[in-house]
Structure 1
Amino acid sequence: MKSASPAPTPGECLSCPANSSDIQFESRTEQQPQEWLSRSSLRAAIEGTINEFVNGHSLRQCRYRSEEKAHVQHILTAIVVNLERIGARLPPAPFRQPRNPTAPRASLTGSTSAGPGPGASPPALLADLIVLRLSVALRK
C-alpha cells in the first residue's frame, strides 16, 4: 500500500501557475479603473435581471411551442416583472375595511368576501388579470 505524500508547499503546487500571485496582482490592478467598474456594474445588473426571469418566473423553458406564443409569453412576463417592480416602490396602501358584498355577488360566489384582501396591491391584481386573460386567449 502506498503512503500518501505530504501536501506540497505553496511554491511547489503543480496545478497552479508559478507566478499566480503576480497574475492575481495584475488582475486586481486591471479592476481598479472607473471604466472597468462601470462595465462590471452594468454586467451585474443584466445578470441579475436574467436571474430574476429564469429563477423567479420560470423562463428557462417556454410553456408554448410556437414562436409567436413564446414571444407573447416573454412580453407578458416582462410586463409582470415591471409591474412587480413598480409595486415594490409604491407606498403601502392604507388599511380599509372591505365593504359588504352586494346580494347578487354574494349569491354568485357563495362567499361573504368583497374581493381581494386589504393587503392586495393594484399592480399584483393587474398582473393576475393579465396572466388570466393570456391563459384564456392561448387556449383558443
Structure 2
Amino acid sequence: MHPRAIQETPDAARAEQATPAWHDQYAIRCGIEATIHQAVTVTGLRRARYRGIKKVHLEHIVAAIAVNLIRLDAWWNGQPLERKRTSHLARLEPALTA
C-alpha cells in the first residue's frame, strides 16, 4: 500500500488540469513541442551531420530558418500545415476509388 498522499495524487493532478491557468501553461508547452516535432520531422535534427559545437549550432540555425520559411509559405498561401500523419493505406484509398 502506498501512503495516502501518493494515492490521492492522480485526483489532485486531474483537478489541477481543469483550471484555466493550467490550460494556458499547457498551450505554451504544446506549441513548443509542435515546433520541435516539425523541426525534427522536416530537417532531421535528431542526428547532427557535422562534428563540433560551432558546426552543429550552425546546422540548428539553418534548420530553424527552414522551419520558419515553411511556415511563412503555408501562411502566405493560406494552406494549413499538415497536423496529422496519414498512413500509407489511407493515402491509397482515394487512388483506388478513382
TM bucket, shorter chain: 0.5 to 0.7
Q: Which one of 65, 70, 73 corresponds to residue 56 of structure 2?
A: 70
1:33 matched to 2:22: no
| TM-score w.r.t. length of structure 1 | 0.47
Q: TM-score, with normalisation over the residues of structure 2?
A: 0.65
Match of 2:96 in 1: none
Write the mapping of 1:1-140 to structure 2, written as runs, cut at 5 A.
Answer: 22-91=8-77
Bigger relative contact order, structure 1 or 2 (CA pairs below 8 A, ≥6 apart): 1
Q: Which runs of 5+ in 1 are unaligned?
A: 1-13, 93-140
Q: Secondary structure at the match of 2:49?
A: coil
C-alpha separation between the residues in 1 aligned to 2:39 and 2:20?
Answer: 29
User: In angstroms, what is the RMSD of aligned CA positions?
Assistant: 2.3
Cα separation, 2, equivalents of 1:68 and 1:22? 48
Give distance in 2, aligned partners of 1:23 and 1:63.
43
Q: Is the 8 A contact 2:40 2:46 kept in 1?
A: yes
Deviation at 1:86, TM superposition (A): 0.3
Identity of aligned residues (%): 34
User: Number of aligned pairs?
Assistant: 77
Larger radius of gyration between Structure 1 and Structure 2: 1
* Greater helix share, structure number: 2
Q: Residue 23 of structure 1: CA displacement?
A: 4.1
Amino acid in the other structure paired with 2:25: R
CA distance in 1, matches of 2:3, 2:70: 50
